[in-house]
Structure 1
Amino acid sequence: MRRTISILLVCFMLVGLLAGCGSEPASTSPSPDTSAPAESTSAGSAQDAELVDRKFTKTRSITVEVYDRGNDGGTPPENNFYTNFIKEGMLRDHNVEVTFVPVGRWTEVEEINNLLAAGDAPDICVTYSYPTIQTYANMGGVLDMGPYLREYKDLLPNLYGLLTERNLFWNEDPETGTVWAIEALLFNNARINTFVREDWLKKLNLPEPTTLEEFENMLRAFKNNAQLLLGSEAKQMIPFSISYDIGWRADHLLAAFVPDSMTDKEAYINGFDDRHILYPGIKEGVRVLNKWYNEGLIWQDFNLYGAGDTTEDNLMKAGYVGSFIHNWDYPYRNGEEGIQANLQKLVGPDAAYIAVAPFKNDAGVYRKFLANPIDRKIFFPSTNDEPLASLLYLDWISKLENRRFLQIGEEGVTHEVMPDGAIKTLAVTGEKIMNSPNNIDYTITINGLDLGDPELNAKSLALNYAGVDARYIERAFELSKKDGRIIPQFNVGEIKAEEGMGPALASKRDNFLVQAVCCPPDQFDAVWDAGMQDYLNSGGQAIIDERAAKFAQFYEK
């Protein structure tokens, strides 16, 4: 079914492209000769000539993608206090009208695929899936940003200053020189944490778990003492919670089973799946989850709820969940609407989740696979006929004073300035609430609080969660990076076998991992082996083979 849909999407795109062949192209490309002088007759220079002090003499219009998280108490992501700030600023500073287009955060790959295939994608698109971009680039559906970035460099001081050429040209093909997308900056490289109920540990007189055995015993203690911990609601007890996205939500546990001796080469060749499912040892980590599930230590209904469903969060807020693995600051987000805040309102002021480090690998370290300093991928579809206006938008939101306002809001309303200059976030509801942490859905060129001063950043980070004791944040940030490992970038250009395979392989991965966790223990090996073989036969092995060949071509000469 997915292959059929992919073929249909390709056909729709080709029809759109062919329909435009009889007329002048909508986009204005600079001269492909990047050494040409700025006074050349390219359409890009014609646009440049219409700028006075980096402001268009004639109003331009662009559309910009924004994630819709559907969070409780939020505002419409395409129309709120912060979008108005951006719209007014872009019109004032560059004479560019901006319209935001909401895309579901948890279904973004599918929605972007559909928008690109229909020719309706926003002028500025954002995704975490580079293979999706590459697929449409190969069909002529994506602009090569390289020539624009080079020609307009002098007009983009804030964009270049924030991302530098490293992130701007991170995806530059070593053979063709194309740049299909730029990489946003991952500013605070914290990824995932393991959380447990601190108050439950105290109530049962349990130490914080520091090994897999201790963590497992803690889960059993939660289950066996459900009556003490939850009273009349003992049947609601969930010692450990997880979601259908097992590769992400069990990351710390699974990483502990990866041999510390795995080389960077092995990690690159097998690392195209961002859930690291092909790393050696992952199977044994999933086997542990299977054991826990069959012991009743894992939420038994986790496989019934898909992307974007809030049932699990609500169970955490209600006080039924003893532990889980998630984004490094997950329970502390969203102020009064967040997990920690609701937990304390419903259960009591001492109820809280605390980050712990319980999973050691074979070298005795708490290994975390951290990301390179890249985050979301920003690209322009070929239907974008305002590339310069779009780049000026990215430059505008990269300007320190603009992104600072978007990240912390108004003094006295969304934050207060402490005596040492640190920024303390305040709880807020209504029109000035932020739909995402530090408004990362609008600061799409950076993920992580940056106030322009490293010392101020460090002081402010722990105060950046309204209503949450700073000690929880400080601990979570520290543990999320403890014993971290970053796999270097290996730029080998396009991996053709990855084209169009991202969503299909991710779906297969998620499905067979769920089946492997939920099956009877005596069927685990058969379920895992069949699911992995199907994953490999469906394109995974072809990607591995091509990556190995490209690695040899560029790094083993």
Structure 2
Amino acid sequence: MKKKVLSMFLASAMALSIVACGSSNSGADTQPAASEQTPAAETKEEAAPAAETAEPEVASELTDGKFADTRKITVEIYDRGNDGGSDPENNMYTEYIKKGMLEEHNVEVTFKKVPRWTEVDDINNLLAAGEAPDICVTYSYPTVLTYAQMGGVIDLSEMIESYKGELPNLWGWLGETNMLWDKDPKTGTVWAIEGKRAEQQRIVTFVRQDWLDKLGLEAPKTTQEFEDMLVAFKDNADKLLGSDASKLVPFSTSYDIGWRASNLITSYMDPNITDKEYYINGFDDRMVTQTSTKEAVRLLNKWYNAGLMWKDFALYGSGDTTEDDMIKAGYVGAFQHNWDYVFRNGEDSINANLKRNVGEDAKFVPVDCFQNSANKYSKWLYSSAGDRKIFFPTTNTEPLASLLYLDFISKPETIKYLQAGDEGVTHEVLDSGAIQIIAATGDAIQNSGKNIDYTITCNGTNFGDEKLAALSLAYGYAEADPELVDQANKIAMADGLEPKNVNVGEVTAEAGVGDTLSSKRDQIYDNAVVAAEADFDSTWDSFMSDYLSAGGQAIIDERTEKWAEYFGDADMLP
């Protein structure tokens, strides 16, 4: 009955909160929401229903880590719709988890797939219907905050402390930093546990080495050299593509400009930007309200109007393969994307496709060319701490079993198996001891890089051993050149900037507006880039005004107040 009542309440509440919702996730698996998390606060009276719905069990119910009676839980898993991929709910890796959980904890696990590119909308609907998985995952903390304010999320603060002795792997891997990353400094509530990033790389610029060679060009080392290269690609389309010259795209991007042009945008930022300024405008990691961003986008607008960019970039949304197909066919000269993007998916990777479709020498290589005013190639990294947000809806009646699940997937041997699989099937061990990933087939195929959809507490190469991971990083992509992977890794980390966790408690203005603002943010970027050069300023200002009035300014104002409350006149954190 309680589940039914909660479902009716959430359905009514969400009808008001998601009218304008729509997925705006980029193709980046990496894609977090804001780098700094701002947990929700809730009064004790408001928190009571959650505690009543999922009353903590005593650890004494476990004997050698196992329940006497079989418990059952459901776990969210992303469905990426990969052609030729494995069934996300039933494959070699899900069987490993199911078997291990049953043997070690007497917990029966069922996976519930949620489309990756519409995950926020789908979780909204499942939660409203009382059918959300017991363990939910999202990149968006404002999403969790919205649910929490509706009474739909369990406060984990007492449980993770009370069961600490039963969760040695979870606490050992995440540590206090990640376990308590979102702990409200006033109320002590913990609405979500933050996964940990084993890798911090974000964006790299890739260019066609074979095109550089054909035109006798060196890899660009400055923004001007990059622009000159794009002009050369355009002016030599016949030489580069012959009869397909009309299909040539010097520089490609997607509707998600703030992500895909991140390194360019960062190069325009003040090298000495304060923690305060970055935080106040940092609720969206696409940096749209940072003061320097407009000028970076002005350059993109210039390139677009000069015919140096893909004309149709804004027409294709999340999950669409049009751009990737164009890149794989060999029509694109340069693009920015996730640091390992050209190496992903083995035989279907970008570079593997180019080799088949164009020739042995066709490949994208990483370059570092966007310098800031201090002559550094600065780029924002992921925080080494916060990653995906793992939360339990109040319909979860097995919170201890769910925590034991998180502990199980955080075991070193579990992480290693989920990332590496079986020797001879999904990997080989080199003489150095490094693990080299090889192409897999059938239910051994990993639908996400490094199987991050299953290793939800670990994002990036780990193999249960940091030294082994470092040794193996360059060999982590089937069909990829380890030297190119190593170059991309080094470039992605060069002059890296790591965002800090600014925990000031609940920022109420952020709840319920995440998707709306993400959509409006993309509209700012896309419309400004495609505007006539003479209309750039008016276009940017008009769409920015709409963004700010839709909730962006309220967030900026509240973050400003929160900073003053906790840090006074300080501009930098200790």
Checking the alignment, whether the CA contact within 8 Å between 1:169 and 1:182 is kept in structure 2 is yes
The answer to whether the aligner puts 1:478 opposite 2:479 as a matched pair is: no
Deviation at 1:9, TM superposition (A): 5.1
Residue 219 of structure 1: aligned partner: 230
Letter in 2 for 1:548: T
Structure number with higher relative contact order (C-alpha < 8 Å, ≥ 6 residues apart):
2
Counterpart for residue 321 of structure 1? 332
| Alpha carbons 1:9, 1:114 under 8 Å: kept | no
Deviation of the 1:260 alpha carbon: 1.2
2:429 matched to 1:422? no
Where in structure 1 are there 5+ consecutive unaligned residues?
13-22, 31-43
Partner of 1:462: 474
The offset of 1:477, in angstroms, is 0.3
2:201 paired residue number = 190
Q: Take 2:380 and 2:368, find their aligned partners in 1: how far apart are those partners?
A: 14
Structure-to-structure mapping, 1:61-210, within 5 angstroms: 61-210=72-221
> CA 1:420/1:552 → structure 2, altered by over 3 Å: closer, same or farther?
same
Aligned to 1:247: 258
Shift of residue 100, structure 1, vs aligned partner: 1.0
Deviations 1:51-87 (A, max 9, x none): 2111111111111111111122211211222111111
Contact 1:226 1:237 in 2 (8 A): yes
Following the alignment from structure 1 to structure 2, what is the Cα–Cα distance between the partners of residues 535 and 342? 40
> Residue 302 of structure 1 aligns with which residue?
313
Q: Identity across aligned pairs (percent)?
A: 57
User: Aligned AA for 1:103?
Assistant: V
CA deviation vs aligned residue, 1:390-436 (integer Å, no higher than 9, x gap): 00000000001111000011001111111111111111222211111
Partners of 2:174 and 2:195 within 8 A in 1:
yes
Report the Cα offset of residue 117 of structure 1. Answer: 2.3
1:29 aligned to 2:29?
no
Tell me, yes or no, if the aligned pair for 1:26 and 1:385 is still in contact at 8 Å.
no
Does the CA contact (< 8 Å) of 1:259 and 1:280 recur in 2?
no
Change (3 A) 1:107 1:382: same
CA RMSD of aligned residues (A): 1.9
| Equivalent AA in structure 1 for residue 170 of structure 2 | L
**Cα distance per residue 1:148-183 (max 9 Å; x no partner):** 101100000000010001100000000000000010
| Alpha-carbon displacement from aligned partner over 1:24-45 (angstroms, at most 9, x marks no partner) | 9873324xxxxxxxxxxxxx21
The match for 1:549 among 561, 571, 574 is 561
Contact 1:6 1:500 in 2 (8 A): no
Candidates 32, 38, 50, aligned match of 2:61: 50
Look up the equivalent residue of 1:317 and give its one-letter code.
K
- The answer to which of 97-106 and 438-447 deviates more is 97-106
Q: 1:91 to 1:7 in 2, by over 3 A?
A: closer
Q: Deviations over 1:360-398 (max 9, x none)?
A: 111111111122122101000111000000000000000
1:297 partner SS: coil
Q: Is the 8 A contact 1:193 1:476 kept in 2?
A: yes
Change (3 A) 1:56 1:419: same
Does the 8 Å contact 2:78/2:114 carry over to 1?
Answer: yes
What is the aligned partner in structure 2 of residue 402 from structure 1?
414
What is the deviation of 1:512?
A: 2.1
Count of residues in correspondence between the two structures? 530
Q: What secondary structure sits across from 2:332 in the alignment?
A: coil
Helix, strand or coil: the match of 2:195?
A: strand
TM-score, length of structure 2 as denominator length: 0.90
CA distances 1:428-457 after superposition (whole Å, capped 9, x unpaired): 222211111110100000001113443322
Q: How many angstroms apart in 2 are the aligned matches of 1:261 and 1:166?
A: 26
User: Which sections of structure 2, spanning at least 5 residues, go unmatched?
Assistant: 1-10, 20-48, 570-574
Report the TM-score when normalising by structure 1. Answer: 0.92
Offset at 1:118?
2.3
Other structure's SS at 2:154 match: coil
Question: Structure 1 CA distance, aligned partners of 2:363 and 2:442?
Answer: 26
| 1:17 paired residue number | none
Distance in 2 between the 1:11 and 1:349 partners? Answer: 49
Superposed displacement of residue 105, structure 1 = 1.5
What does residue range 331-480 of structure 1 map to in structure 2 within 5 Å? 331-373=342-384, 374-480=386-492
CA contact under 8 A between 1:10 and 1:117: conserved in structure 2? no
Runs of 4+ in 1 over 4 A off after TM superposition: 4-7, 9-12, 23-26
